[in-house]
């Protein structure tokens, strides 16, 4: 009952987001549901095993907003609310992630294997687009540890699908407040079409990101190649990560479009609480690798008001002693109004 009440409250917040932001003149918005799991065409149940994120983004004109909104935006790197030629979006997100070791049958601690952990968080987002460039800022605040409800959510779902419980949650990371701030830029650096009236197209999007906080601190860079039919003028689908997620652009075509894509990202990792353990208390931990890479293959189906995206992600080993690389799938469904 408590979980149902919480979900209803979250839904009410997203549904009334337009009313909560009268000062920044929301015109229309996009609501996205993203789900990631290592059962999606992977068949495993370990390490990063589940992620879920609800995102609401509304388009606005910051230069026409109340004065205090413009003043606050000036303190955000890479943003300039006085630029009338930029298209801005503001939004909120609610997310949850679960991490487990490879062996979930034993209840005893497993030195050398990834610790149990969960991350429950809320985010504030700001996007700014100028022609072929997109700037993103995401501030996430939440909790890591038992209060993030990882054990209850995972084992309740295992009951539904008739899978044995994960038995080692007593060894998870301790409760710790989490803070994470990310800046990201994406650039459509090249695009090609087979004639002015042709529906076929190819483009290349580059991106780089800085993330700071006690949950994660890293530098990242990557690229996306898309090939498709009437491709929307956005910057592609993405995984659940800072600044990421499926965020279709409202400037897309008013007809059906589809594309396939391949992308990669390389991260230099200074801090990862899910590997390094708690910041201020002794806790389970592993010796993380300083560089991690992702390779994504996926497709997107785009309608004027809807978008469906699927991504299969291949991730290199994240800590020393890890038996094999991880594979998981990501599904994103968006509705725009």
* pTM, full prediction: 0.86
* CATH architecture of the domain covering 2-336: Beta Barrel (2.40)
pLDDT above 50 for 251? no
For residue 55, the cross-strand partners are 32, 93
Residue 150, pLDDT above cutoff 80:
yes
| Residues 88 and 4: beta-carbon distance below 8 Å | no
Structure tokens at 86: 């930029």
**How does residue 42 score in pLDDT terms, banded at 50, 70 and 90?**
confident
The model's confidence at residue 58, banded by pLDDT at 50, 70 and 90, is confident
Question: What is the SS3 assignment for the chain?
Answer: CHHHHHHHHHHHHHHCHHHHCHHHCCCCEEEEEEEEECCCCCCCCCEEEEEEEEEEEEEECHHHCCHHHHHHHHCCCCCCCCCCCCEEEEEEEEEEEEEECCCCCCCCCCCCCCCCEEEEEEEEEEEEEECCEEEEEEEEEEEECHHHCHHHHHHHHHHHCCCCCCCCHHHCCCCEEEEEEEEEEEEEEEEEECCCCCCEEEEEEEEEEEEEECCEEEEEEEEEEEEEECCCCCCCCCCCCCCCCCCCCCCCCCCCEEEEEEEEEEEEEEEEHHHHCCCCCCCCCCCECCEEEEEEEEEEEECCCEEEEEEEEEECCCECCCCCCEEEEEEEEEEEC
pLDDT on residue 34: 94
The full set of domain ranges for the chain reads: 2-336
Q: Is pLDDT of 147 > 70?
A: yes
Burial letters 29-51, b for 16+ CB under 10 A, else e: bbbbebebbbebeeeebbbbbbb
pLDDT tens digits, 301-314: 988 888 999 999 99
| The pLDDT of residue 312 | 96
Calculate mean pLDDT across residues 192-215. Answer: 88
What does the pLDDT average to over 186-207?
A: 86
**CB neighbour class for 182 (10 Å; exposed up to 12, middle 13-18, buried from 19):** buried
How confident is the model at residue 336, as a pLDDT? 86
Query: What residues form DSSP beta bridges with 289?
Result: none
pLDDT over threshold 70, residue 245: no
Note the pLDDT of residue 89.
Answer: 84
User: In b/e form, how buried is each residue of 125-149, taking b as 16+ CB within 10 angstroms?
Assistant: bbbbbeeeebbbbbbbebbbbbebb
Residue 35 reports pLDDT greater than 60? yes
Give yes or no for residue 253 having a pLDDT over 80: no
| 189 or 12: which leads in pLDDT | 189
pLDDT of residue 249: 58
- pLDDT tens, 61-93? 765 555 545 555 665 665 665 665 677 888 899
* 226-245 burial code (b ≥16 CB/10 A, e <16): bebbbbbbbbbbbbbbbbbb
Q: What is the mean pLDDT of residues 161-178?
A: 93
Instruction: Please compute the mean of the pLDDT values over residues 231-237 and round it to a whole number.
Output: 85
- pLDDT at residue 291 greater than cutoff 70: yes
């Amino acid at each position: 009952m408590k979980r149902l009440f919480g979900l209803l409250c979250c839904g009410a917040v997203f549904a009334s987001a337009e009313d909560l932001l009268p000062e920044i003149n929301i015109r229309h918005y996009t609501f996205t549901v993203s789900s990631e799991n290592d059962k999606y065409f992977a068949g495993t149940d370990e390490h990063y095993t589940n992620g879920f994120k609800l995102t609401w983004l509304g388009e606005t004109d910051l230069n026409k907003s109340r004065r205090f909104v413009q003043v606050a935006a000036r303190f955000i790197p890479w943003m300039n609310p006085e630029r009338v030629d930029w298209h801005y979006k503001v939004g909120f997100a609610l997310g949850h992630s679960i991490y487990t070791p490879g062996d979930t049958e034993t209840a005893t601690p497993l030195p050398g294997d990834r610790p149990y952990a969960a991350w429950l968080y809320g985010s504030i987002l700001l996007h700014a687009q100028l022609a072929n460039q997109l700037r993103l800022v995401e501030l996430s605040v939440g909790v890591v540890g038992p209060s993030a409800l990882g054990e209850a959510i995972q084992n309740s779902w295992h009951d539904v699908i008739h899978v044995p419980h994960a038995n080692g949650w007593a060894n998870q990371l301790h409760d710790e407040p989490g803070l994470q701030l990310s800046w990201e830029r994406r650039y459509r650096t090249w695009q090609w079409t087979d004639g002015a009236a042709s529906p076929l197209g190819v483009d290349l999007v580059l991106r780089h990101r800085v993330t700071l906080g006690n949950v994660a601190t890293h530098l990242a860079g990557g690229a996306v190649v898309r090939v498709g039919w009437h491709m929307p003028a956005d910057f592609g689908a993405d995984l659940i990560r800072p600044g990421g997620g499926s965020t279709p652009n409202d400037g897309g075509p008013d007809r059906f479009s589809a594309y396939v894509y391949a992308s990669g990202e390389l991260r230099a990792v200074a801090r990862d609480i899910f590997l390094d353990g708690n910041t201020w208390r002794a806790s389970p931990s592993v010796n993380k690798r300083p560089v991690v890479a992702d390779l994504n293959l996926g497709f997107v189906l785009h309608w004027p008001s809807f978008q469906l995206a699927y991504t299969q992600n291949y991730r290199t080993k994240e800590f020393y002693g890890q038996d094999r690389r991880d594979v998981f799938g990501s599904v994103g469904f968006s509705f725009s109004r």
